[in-house]
Amino acid sequence: MDGGSTIAITSDSDIIVARELGRRVGKELDFSLTDLTIIATVISELARNIIIFAKHGDMIIETIRHGKKVGIVITAVDKGPGIPDIFLAMQDGYSTGKGLGLGLPGVRRLMDEFEIFSETGKGTRVSVKKWLM
């Protein structure tokens, strides 16, 4: 990974900054317009979750290389209340009614790799990867 860029997420304007950074990194890697839209959508969903549930956190956007493959890694980190039931949160149809309606299951479907770690009272870390095909 390239070290990437970290954006503090505390407001809607930070979501816009993170989306634009994700699009720029994706464009530099030559992702398609469709994939650039997916990347921006995923960033929006993860950043919105930070604001709603944790109030503030960080979005880390970086490139990754594995052999001849290249991709983008998006990591959302917060020190919020955590997700008490990750299994439930990852079910289709589960919603708090405040996000974009995509939810974590949608983020998982849109990206090539998905990892989540959450501890109640300590925060959540979601890391996703999209590989250039």
Domain ranges of the chain: 5-131
Question: What superfamily in CATH does domain 5-131 come from?
Answer: Histidine kinase-like ATPase, C-terminal domain (3.30.565.10)
- pTM for the model stands at 0.91
What does the block give as tokens for 87? 């299994």
Q: How confident is the model at residue 87 (pLDDT cuts 50, 70, 90)?
A: confident
Q: How many CB atoms are closer than 10 A to CB 27? A: 14
Q: How confident is the model at residue 103 (pLDDT cuts 50, 70, 90)?
A: confident
Q: H or E segment at 75?
A: strand 69-78
Mean pLDDT of 36-42: 97
State the burial class of residue 97 (Cβ atoms within 10 Å of its Cβ: 0-12, 13-18, 19+): exposed
70, β-bridge pairs: 65
Tens of pLDDT, residues 41-50:
999 999 999 9
pLDDT at 89: 81
Q: H or E segment at 47?
A: helix 33-49
pLDDT at 95: 64
Q: Residue 85: CB partners within 8 Å, gap ≥ 6? A: none
9, β-bridge pairs: 57
